[in-house]
């Protein structure tokens, strides 16, 4: 492990995009090699740090979509373009894009779970020839919780999309939970495929069970976990579930392993 990896470095905020009242996307200047699904420890001096997934990446910038929930994130929401965010990383495992290539891909995401999988979706949106087909089921609580509206519109043009709101009727959205729509995926017509599930733990649990019920083998399912972390490098044990260090072996897990951690 490089020593530098543990040292937070300042990065300029280039732009702040307001997604919802409590979720903003921060675009920061960064010339770093990051894999889809990895996270950074984002910090402010004398305040603290929090693990945050990369939600998009480009030439010399990264985006983080942050929900304002506590000590660190409250302070981050006071920042403006031109201010600095401190970061160390990237950390963790990533979605195995090469394994998904030339196959069918199903992405099932709930709420802020869209954020860690957004860069993977953007990758296949920009490289549609790398994938046979992509089915994207995204669910949000209500209209005011919808994230990445522009991306959702764009994805409709290249992916098979189903967007749902838990219990609000809005044009372009079904009503109900994402799990209710999994049976619409034509798994039996796919030659080879993978399924990504990201969202709150209960949603991932029930979405995975629904996939299994529809004949999806465990090893085709991939999930990403948000777990309390501190060091992010396997030293403190904060992220441990039984013997598994989520910061090192995750956050992206194959379901064959994740099933032990989800219950
Ligand atoms: C791999 C990974 C990726 C992540 N990616 C993202 C991401 O992309 N975007 C994102 O927004 N978040 C993400 N998270 C979650 C984020 O790291 C946490 O929400 C983090 O705790 C926020 O830090 P904070 O200091 O602002 O909040 P904290 O102060 O740590 O509060 C976090 C939660 O604990 C509750 N809480 C705080 N203090 C108390 C208390 N005394 N009693 C009871 N409850 C309390 C708060 O209400 C809040 O719900 C990720 C987590 C992981 C592990
Ligand atoms: S967060 Fe410290 S060991 Fe994983």
**Model confidence pLDDT, tens digit, residues 32-49:** 999 999 999 999 999 999
**Nearest alpha carbon, ligand 1 atom 9:** 66
Token reading at 94? 């990533």
Say if residue 2's pLDDT is above 70.
no
Domain segments of the chain as ranges: 3-91, 97-262
Kindly give the number of the ligand 1 atom that is closest to the alpha carbon of 67.
11
Q: 241 in ligand 2 pocket by Cβ < 6 Å?
A: no
For residue 4, the model assigns a pLDDT of 61
Token reading at 38? 């990895």
**From 48, 73, 76, 77, mutation site for ligand 1 pocket: most ligand atoms within 8 A of C-beta:** 73
Distance (Å) from CA 97 to ligand 1 centroid: 28
Fold designation for 97-262: Rossmann fold (3.40.50)
Say if residue 13's pLDDT is above 90.
yes
pTM: 0.94
**From 50, 53, 93, mutation site for ligand 1 pocket: most ligand atoms within 8 A of C-beta:** 50
For the chain, percent of residues with pLDDT exceeding 90: 91
For residue 5, the model assigns a pLDDT of 62
For residue 6, the model assigns a pLDDT of 81
Token reading at 181? 């729509």
Q: Is 246 left (phi over 0), alpha (psi -120 to 50) or beta?
A: alpha
For residue 169, the model assigns a pLDDT of 92
Cis peptide before 198 (omega within 30 of 0): no
Distance (Å) from CA 257 to ligand 2 centroid: 18
* Closest to 227 measured CA to CA, from 253, 188, 195, 189: 253
For residue 211, the model assigns a pLDDT of 97
Say if residue 261's pLDDT is above 90.
no
For residue 260, the model assigns a pLDDT of 87
Tell me the CA distances in angstroms from 236 to 1, 231, 242, 257, 260, one per residue in order.
15, 6, 14, 22, 21
151 confidence band (pLDDT: 50, 70, 90): very high
In the predicted model, what is the mean pLDDT of the chain?
Answer: 94
The per-residue pLDDT for range 188-232, each reduced to its tens digit, is: 999 999 999 999 999 999 999 999 999 999 999 999 988 888 999
* Closest to 77 measured CA to CA, from 117, 110, 42, 39: 42
CATH class (in words) of the domain with range 3-91 = mainly beta
């Amino acid at each position: 492990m490089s020593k530098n990896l543990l040292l937070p470095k300042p990065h300029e905020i280039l732009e702040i995009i307001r997604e919802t009242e409590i979720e903003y996307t921060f675009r920061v200047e960064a010339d770093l090699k990051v894999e889809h699904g990895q996270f950074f420890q984002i910090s402010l001096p004398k305040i603290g740090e929090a693990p945050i997934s990369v939600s998009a990446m480009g030439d010399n910038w990264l985006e983080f979509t942050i929900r304002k929930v506590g000590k660190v994130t409250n302070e981050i929401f006071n920042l403006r373009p031109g201010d600095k965010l401190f970061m160390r990383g990237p950390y963790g495992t990533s979605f195995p894009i090469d394994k998904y290539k030339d196959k069918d891909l199903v992405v099932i995401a709930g709420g802020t779970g869209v954020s860690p999988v957004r860069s993977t979706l953007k990758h296949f949106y920009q490289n549609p020839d790398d994938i046979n087909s992509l089915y994207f089921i995204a669910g949000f609580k209500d209209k005011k919780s919808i994230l990445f509206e522009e991306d959702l519109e764009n994805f409709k043009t290249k992916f098979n999309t189903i967007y749902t709101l838990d219990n609000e009727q809005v044009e372009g959205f079904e009503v109900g939970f994402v799990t209710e729509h999994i049976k619409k995926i034509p798994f039996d017509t796919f030659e080879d495929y993978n399924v990504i599930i990201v969202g709150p733990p209960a949603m991932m649990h029930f979405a995975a069970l629904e996939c299994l019920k529809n004949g999806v083998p465990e090893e085709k399912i991939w999930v990403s976990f948000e777990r309390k972390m501190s060091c992010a490098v396997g030293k403190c044990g904060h992220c441990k579930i039984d013997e598994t260090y989520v910061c090192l072996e995750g956050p992206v897990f194959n379901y064959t392993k994740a099933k032990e951690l989800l219950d």
